[in-house]
Amino acid sequence: MFSIPRETGAKSTSSDSPQKIENSDSQLARRDPPTRPDAPVRRGRLRRWRLIGWLALTALLPVSIFLVTYWQQGFVAAGRAGTTMVMPVGWVWLFLWAGTTYFGLLGQRRQSIGWVFLFLIWTAVGNGQVAGTVLGWVESPLPTASDPAFEKRGLDARLDGLVTLGGSANWVVEDFPEVNGDGERILSAAQIYHAGMTRTIITTGSSTDGIAHPCEIAKDLLISLGIPDERIFLIPGVNTQAEMESLAAFLEAPPTAWRDLVESPTDPKMGLVTSAFHMPRALRLAQDHGLDLVAIPCAFRVEYTERPWKAADWIPTSENQSKLGLAFKEAIAWTLGR
């Protein structure tokens, strides 16, 4: 009898196919779990709550400062604090704070640290306490007696001449001068003269474009403050070093009109008026040219009056950044020997 051979290969193939299909289905099931019908709704709610949390946390800083300032000083001061926060420097500060809170809520550590760093740096460079401390290291110390009357500020003898450095005034339009942030130099010079503590005033400064020389502007303003024209003398100089060179040349060979007004033209007692932050550099350059000047600093940027802490002090301002810039400028000039 003949036997029919078994078709083992065909049978094994047919028997393995359902198992393979079952295994592949289970793998797909593991890779792609079934999506819940409400998943998009849940994700939308999560995004909304995250947005609400971010906005609330971002608003916490300005709102807290406003409320604490209102509690400390009243509505007017709180309004000023709010105005400061919407100035350009304040906008950048709030933007950096918003970035800090955003990446913090997302849990992105690296980005969050970077934004925190930028926020703290911007806070520091615009902070009044930081700017005041740094500029305080630069400014010339206060007079021995901070009395409005200059004869009580340690000037033990009348000066033959008082040098008022330029840069304290400018033209608004032609022939219309006004003092600027360093205008106290001109006011102090007038006060000293009217107090009888100097015989003459020497104004300095040249314009690099040849228009409205600082020494001439200062003279016009001093005359308007009651200083006689014949008591004011002018010397050129495009910067402090050049002004000291001109002053040394002036004292080496003073004009006859000046010699006739002073007590000791060969060994005159001279004073120097300039802004407090500028005084140390001006004295250093004066000494480099063999000049011995009595320092009379003015236009102090740092306020030494003790005041209580205020929440609004945390808000960075362009004014504080400008003070810090002055300190850096003087440090650079000292490094370069200028």
CATH number of the CATH domain containing 214: 3.40.50
Position 223 in a domain = yes
pLDDT in tens, 177-232: 889 989 999 999 999 999 888 999 999 999 988 888 999 999 999 999 999 999 99
Residues 159 and 294 in one domain: yes
Pair 185, 283 in one domain: yes
Q: Let me know if residue 324 belongs to a domain.
A: no
Burial of 69 (0-12, 13-18, 19+ CB in 10 A): buried
Q: Could you give the CA distance from residue 311 to residue 124 in angstroms, rounded to a whole number?
A: 15
Note the pTM of the prediction, 2 decimals: 0.75
Answer yes or no: is 337 within a domain: no
Whole-number pLDDT of residue 308: 85
Q: Are 273 and 188 in contact (CB under 8 A)?
A: yes
Residues 163 and 287 in one domain: yes
Q: Residue 173 falls within a domain, yes or no?
A: yes
At 228, which helix (H) or strand (E)?
none
Local structure of residue 292 (DSSP, 8 states): -
For residues 170 and 268, state if they share a domain: yes
Q: Specify if 268 maps to a domain.
A: yes
Tally of domains in the chain? 2
Pair of tokens at residue 184: 């106290």
Q: Look at residue 319 and tell me whether its pLDDT is greater than 90.
A: yes
Print the domain residue range for 171.
150-300
35-82 pLDDT, tens digit each:
556 566 666 666 777 778 788 889 999 999 999 999 999 999 999 999
**Same domain for 160 and 76:** no
Terminal-residue alpha carbon distance, the chain: 123
- CA 159/CA 264 separation, integer angstroms: 10
CA dist., res. 187 & res. 327, Å (int): 23
